[in-house]
A and B are shown apart, each in its own frame.
Chain A
Amino acid sequence: MRKFLAAAIASAYLAFSPGVQAQTPPNVLVVGQIAEPKALDPQAVTAVNDFRILMNIYDGLVRYKDGTLEVEPALAESWTISDDGTAYTFKLREGVTFHDGTPFDAAAVKFNFDRMLKEDHPFHDTGPFPLAFFFSSVEEVVVDDPTTVTFKLNAPYAPFLSNLAYPTGLIVSPSAVEANGKDFGRHPIGTGAYKFAEWDANTKVVAVRNDDYWDGTPELEAIIFRPITDANTRIAEMLSGGLDVMVEVPPDSLQQFKSDDNFEVLEQAGPHVWFLILNAKEAPFNNKAARQAANYAINKTALVENILQGTADVAAGPTPPAFAWAYNEGLEPYPYDPEKAKELLKDAGYDGEEITFYVTEGGSGMLDPIAMGTAIQADLQAVGMNVKIETYEWNTFLGKVNPGLEGKAAMAEMAWMTNDPDTLPFLALRTEAFPDKGGFNSGYYSNPKVDDLLDKARQVTDQAERAKLYQEMQTIVQEDAPWVFVANWKQNAVTKLSVGDFKLQPSFFLMLQDVKKPN
C-alpha cells in the first residue's frame, strides 16, 4: 500500500507538474481583490473591497463624474430640488431593465429605500443595513408616476446627492429581493454594465457583459474578481501572470512594478485623510499653541516619503484635496519647524510631563500605523515632548478612541475616507459631535464659528456657495489645529500592459465599464 501510494503520487507529479502557466484569456479581466466580498447587496455592505464589484453590477440614480467627486445623472436623467431644500424630484431614465428582465421604474426606487429605512417593510429583514443612516434624513419616497420619484427630507441636507452616488444608494431589483430574500446578497441583480454570473466562494466572483447596458455595451466579455488576502501572494500572482489588475499594492512593492516594463502603475489621490486627534480638553493640548507645536514638530514629508514611500501626499487641513470643488487651495501644510515647535511649547507652558499616544496595529485606511506612530513619537521627543505609545488591535482601538480621549490619552491616530466634504467635519469637529452626543469628536474640539459654518453648509444646495463655507471652515480648523494633519493617501493599482483605458477614480471605486483587454 505504501509503495503504491508513493508510486501513485510520484507519477501524478510527473504527469501534471510541468503544466504551462495559463495566461488570462482575451477580453476577460481578472482583478485581484484584497478579500472575499461579504455580500453583493449594496445596502448591506460597508467595505471598499465590496464596492469595487458592486459599482460594476449596479447603477444609482446619480454617480460621480469620471475623475471627480461631483455628481452627474445616471439612472435619473435629471432632478429638481425644492426651494426649501427638502424635496428632491428625480426624472428617471426610461426603458432601463434589471438583469432579470424586470423594468426599472419609480416603484423600484421606492422599494429600495423603503426596504432599507422602514423597519416594517416586508423585506427589511434582508438586512441589516449598517449605512442606512446615510439616508436618515429621508422621510418618505413618493412615486409621482412611473418615471418620476420624489424624496421628501425632514430637513435640508446638502450631502444627499453625493450619498445617492455612494454604493449604499445603488438600486437593486425588487423582484430579485422578493425571490431570494436573505440570500439576495449572493444573487445580485442590478442594472449595471456587467451582470452577475457566478460566485465561487473564496475563489472568484464572475460578472459578464450586459449587452443591453443603457450607457453603451462594454468591450470586456467578463470580469473575474479574485480574493487574495495575503499581499505577498497577491504580488506573486500578479508577477506570475494570474492577474490583469491588482489594487492596493503595498508601498514596498510599488517600486518593483514601476521599474518593470511589463506593468503599468496607476496612482490616484482619494477622499482620505490620516490625522492625529489631539485631546483639547486636557493639558497640554487644551492650549492652541501646544496643538500647533505638534503640527510643526512632526516631519510629515519624511513620513510620506520614507515610511509610506510616496503612496500618500502631505495633508494641509481636514478636507482632502480630492474634494476639488470644496477644497481650499490656499492652505499650505504646517512646515516642519522643530525650533518653532519648541518655542510654542514653551509659550503653552508644557514642562515635559508624559503624554499617552494611542496607536493602532492596522485598520481601514490606517496605512502603516505602527511605523508612523513610532516616527511621530521620535519627532515629538526631539522637541522635548515625552510621549508614551499604547498600541491596540483595530477593533479594540476604536473601542478606546470613539468614546473620547478624556482621562486616557493626549493623542490618537485616525483616518477617514468619505464621499462628501460634509461627512468628516460634521461627524468629528462639531461641538454637537462630542462622543457623549453620539459623534466622533473624540478630542472635544469646539469652535462656534466652525459649528455654524458646517450647519449652514448642510442647508445650502448651491455647490459654489457650499464650497465657500467649507473653505472658510478649513482655514479656521487649520489655525485651531484640533488635529495634526498628516497625510492624504493615494490609491494605487498595477495593470498588465495589455489592459487599456483603465482608470482609478477619486472615489476609490473601480469603474470598469470602458476598460479593454483585447489580448
Chain B
Amino acid sequence: MAYYIAKRLLAAIPVLFGLTIIVFLIMAMIPGDPATAILGSYATPENVAKLNRDLGLDKTLFEQYVIWIGNLIHGDLGRSYTLNRPVLDEVLERFSATLILSGTSLVLCSVLGLLAGIISAVRQYGWADKAITLIVLIGISTPSFWLGLLLILIFAVNLKLFPASGMYAIYGGGDLADLIHHLTLPALTLSIVATGVIARLTRTAMLEVLRQDYIRTARAKGLSESKVIYKHAFKAALVNVVPVIGIQAGFVIGGAVYIETVFQWPGIGSMLVTAISTRDLLLVQGGVLIVASAYVLFNLLADVVQTILDPRLR
C-alpha cells in the first residue's frame, strides 16, 4: 500500500509541473498586464515601463519562470504585488478557509447523499423515493450562486438567523460556535449539487446490489432487514460511490469559487478570481498549484479508500 501511495504521489509531480507551465503561458497570453491594472487611467507607456521594471516584469517569460521554479524549490512562492505580502502566507491562509468550507460541504453531501440514496433504493417507487428523486433533481439543476443569494435573503436578511457573509463575527466571536454559525449557509449551498449526484449514484448502486443473489441468501438466512441493507448491500455499493465522492471533492473546491464570492468567505476561490483580474501572476500560480495539489490528493485518498473497501483491487 505504501508503495502504491508513493508511486501515485511521484506521478503527480510531472502533472503539477506541467500545470505551472500552462498557467504561466495562459497568464502571459491573456491581454493586459499588471502595471496597466495597477495604474488604471494613469497607464502611460512611460509609467507602465517604469512600474514593470520595479515589479521585475521586464524580464522575459522564460527568465521569470526559471526564477519562480528556483524559488519554489526553496519553498518560496514569491511575493504578491497586489497584496504586497508573500504568496505562501496568503495562499495558506486562504486555503485553510477553503478547506473548512469545502471539507464541511463534502462531509455534508456524503452523509446526506448516501442516506438519501439508500432510502430511495430501499423504498424504490415509494413516496419517499419519489420525493427524494424530485428534490435531488431540483438540487442538481439549481445554480448554486443563485441558491446562495436566496438563502441569504431568507435566513440572513429576513429571518436574521444566520450572518450574511464572512467567516467570523467582526467583533467578539472567533470561537467554534461563531464559525459554525457563519459556515452553515455557505456549506449547505456548496454541498447541494454534490449531494444530488451522490444520492443518484448511491440509489443506482444500491439497486444493483439489492438484486444480487447473496442479498437474497442473507435475507433467507433470516438476517434483519437493517443488517442486510447496511452490512451487506451498502458496503458493496459504497465501492462504486467512493470514487465519485473523490471527484465531487474536486467539484466542491471548484464550486467554492462562486460560493466564496457570494458569501465573502475568505478562501482561495475568491482570491483566485481577484488575482486573475489584477493579473497577479505569482498569486494565481501559487493558488492554482495548491488547489491542483489538493485535487490530486483527494483523488488519491478516494482511490486508497476504494482499495481498502474492495479487496479485489489490491
Contact = CB atoms under 8 A, between A and B. Distances in A.
A396 B165 contact: no
Which has the most chain B C-beta neighbours within 10 Å: A35, A229, A363, A396?
Answer: A229
Contacts of A182: 79, 84
Given A182-B84, A201-B266, A364-B41, A17 B32 contact: no
A16 B36 CA distance: 47
A236 B107 contact: no
Given A203-B170, A224-B170, A229-B261, A395 B51 contact: no
Interface in A127-144: 127-128, 130-131, 133
A399 B31 contact: yes
A17 B162 contact: yes
A372 interface: no
B239 interface: no
A392 to B, nearest CB: 8
Given A128-B51, A398-B32, A17 B161 contact: yes
A19 B177 contact: yes
A21 B45 CA distance: 51
A229 B273 CA distance: 11
B163 interface: yes
Given A203-B166, A232-B149, A24 B171 contact: yes
Contact of A396 (B32, B51, B90, B163): B32
B76 to A, nearest CB: 14
A259 interface: no
B311 interface: no
Interface in A395-418: 395-396, 398-399, 402-403, 415-417
Interface string A30-62: 100001101101001010000000000000000
A288 B209 CA distance: 81
B23 to A, nearest CB: 17
B191 to A, nearest CB: 11
B213 interface: no
B264 A233 contact: yes
Contacts of A224: 170-171
A438 B30 CA distance: 24
B83 interface: yes
Contacts of B44: 402, 427, 438-440
Contacts of A241: 160
Interface string A4-24: 011001001101111111101
A393 interface: yes
B170 A395 contact: no
Given A46-B42, A201-B90, A438-B46, A242 B264 contact: no
A204 interface: yes
A386 B42 CA distance: 32
A186 B31 contact: no
A202 interface: yes
A417 B165 CA distance: 31
Nearest to B97: A202
A46 B181 contact: no
B82 interface: yes
Interface stretch (B1-9, B10-18, B150-158, B246-254): B150-158
Contact of A13 (B50, B107, B184): B184
Contact of A186 (B32, B85, B168, B173): B85
B171 A21 contact: no
A203 B173 CA distance: 13
Interface string B130-166: 0000000000000000000100110011001111111
A402 B51 contact: no
A53 B202 CA distance: 52
Q: How large is the interface on B (under 10, 10 to 19, 20 to 34, 35 or more residues)?
A: 35 or more
Contacts of B157: 236, 239-240
A130 B162 contact: no
B39 A46 contact: yes
A277 interface: no
A236 B156 contact: yes
Nearest to A203: B266
Nearest to B153: A236
Contact of B171 (A25, A128, A237, A363): A25
A226 interface: yes
Contacts of A417: 41
B108 interface: yes
Which has the most chain B C-beta neighbours within 10 Å: A186, A224, A228?
Answer: A228
Contacts of A41: 84
Contact of A240 (B31, B156, B262): B156
A83 interface: no
Contact of A17 (B83, B94, B184): B184
A185 interface: yes
A28 interface: yes
Nearest to A416: B41
A15 B279 CA distance: 44
Contacts of B47: 130, 133
23 contacts: A2-B114, A13-B184, A22-B169, A22-B171, A24-B171, A25-B171, A39-B84, A46-B39, A128-B51, A133-B42, A183-B84, A186-B85, A202-B93, A202-B97, A229-B270, A229-B274, A233-B152, A236-B164, A240-B156, A396-B31, A399-B36, A402-B45, A440-B41
Interface of A: 2, 5-6, 9, 12-13, 15-22, 24-25, 28, 30, 35-36, 38-39, 41, 44, 46, 127-128, 130-131, 133, 182-183, 185-186, 201-204, 224, 226-230, 232-233, 236-237, 239-242, 363-365, 392-396, 398-399, 402-403, 415-417, 427, 435, 438-440
Interface of B: 30-33, 35-47, 50-51, 54-55, 79, 81-85, 90, 93-94, 97, 107-108, 111, 114-115, 149, 152-153, 156-157, 160-173, 177, 180-181, 184, 261-264, 266, 270-271, 274, 277, 279
Given A9-B111, A183-B84, 6 more contacts: A12-B180, A25-B171, A128-B54, A201-B266, A395-B277, A438-B45
